[in-house]
Chain A
């Protein structure tokens, strides 16, 4: 199965600032996904990152707040912009991994103070 390196693993940020989260995959993948997970809750899909085109955002999420880059088939970034305490959460990237379902990165635990 694919191996995903997600960075940073955690961060504490000041409100009003931005944080960029990176995911590097060890193989080329067509579809990459970004999720948010509140502690003890299920996963909420933020957007699907497509190589060569703009990301597709789910209802409630907008590009200005969560800009995504997908420069090639092995890498993507998610930026959480103009952060507020409500953005404190765990952010996860994921890739479609054929017979292995969907493989997740190890997550970024974000705390906004």
Chain B
């Protein structure tokens, strides 16, 4: 069945370095959402992308949806310790949810 693959599983960066997580699907996605989950917390919605090639920015975060709508990325510029957490991508297609496995980001001060 359809899966959303997310890489990397873990990323350790020095504060100030950039960070990127990627989601890939073997089939076309109608949409993709990104969530952040702080340690001990619950997933918090960040953004939804629906258009081919769409790019959205939230301060230091840049979200992209591929032209073929089969991949997406989340890029954080100049990470801060407040960025620590696990970032999940998710897609809702044909009445089913598909969650990526998440990328756990650790930022060293």
Could you tell me the distance in whole angstroms from the C-beta of B78 to the nearest C-beta in chain A?
25
Q: Write out the residue numbers on chain B whose beta carbons fall within 8 Å of the beta carbon of A107.
A: 42
A111 at the interface (CB under 8 A from B): no
Query: Considering the chains assembled together, what is the distance between the CA atoms of A106 and B90 in angstroms?
Result: 18
- Please determine whether B100 and A101 come into contact, CB atoms closer than 8 angstroms: no
Q: Mark B31-67, 1 if CB is under 8 A from A, else 0.
A: 0010100000111111110000000000000000000
A92 at the interface (CB under 8 A from B): yes
- Please determine whether B102 and A42 come into contact, CB atoms closer than 8 angstroms: yes
- Please determine whether A43 and B88 come into contact, CB atoms closer than 8 angstroms: yes
- Please determine whether A43 and B45 come into contact, CB atoms closer than 8 angstroms: no
Question: What is the interface of chain B mostly: helix, strand, loop, or mixed?
Answer: strand
- With A42-B88, A42-B102, A43-B99 given, is the CB distance from A101 to B45 under 8 Å? yes
Within 8 A of B (CB), among A30-69: 33, 40-45
- Number of residue pairs spanning A and B whose beta carbons lie under 8 angstroms apart: 39
- Please determine whether A104 and B44 come into contact, CB atoms closer than 8 angstroms: yes
Q: Number of contact residues on A: which range applies?
A: 10 to 19
- Please determine whether B48 and A42 come into contact, CB atoms closer than 8 angstroms: no
Q: Which of A40, A42, A100 has the most CB of B within 10 A?
A: A42
Q: Which of B42, B46, B101, B104 has the most CB of A within 10 A?
A: B42
Query: Considering the chains assembled together, what is the distance between the CA atoms of A102 and B97 in angstroms?
Result: 11
Pick the contact of A101: B42, B48, B104 (CB < 8 A): B48
A103 at the interface (CB under 8 A from B): yes
Could you tell me the distance in whole angstroms from the C-beta of A25 to the nearest C-beta in chain B?
14
Pick the contact of A100: B45, B88, B97 (CB < 8 A): B45
Could you tell me the distance in whole angstroms from the C-beta of A81 to the nearest C-beta in chain B?
23
Q: Which 10 A-B pairs have the closest CB atoms?
A: A101-B45, A104-B42, A101-B33, A107-B42, A42-B99, A42-B101, A43-B99, A104-B43, A101-B48, A45-B97
Q: B-contacting residues of A (Cβ < 8 Å)?
A: 1, 33, 40-45, 92, 97, 99-107
A-B contact pairs, 10 of them (CB 8 A): A33-B97, A42-B102, A45-B96, A92-B42, A92-B43, A102-B90, A104-B42, A105-B42, A106-B41, A107-B42
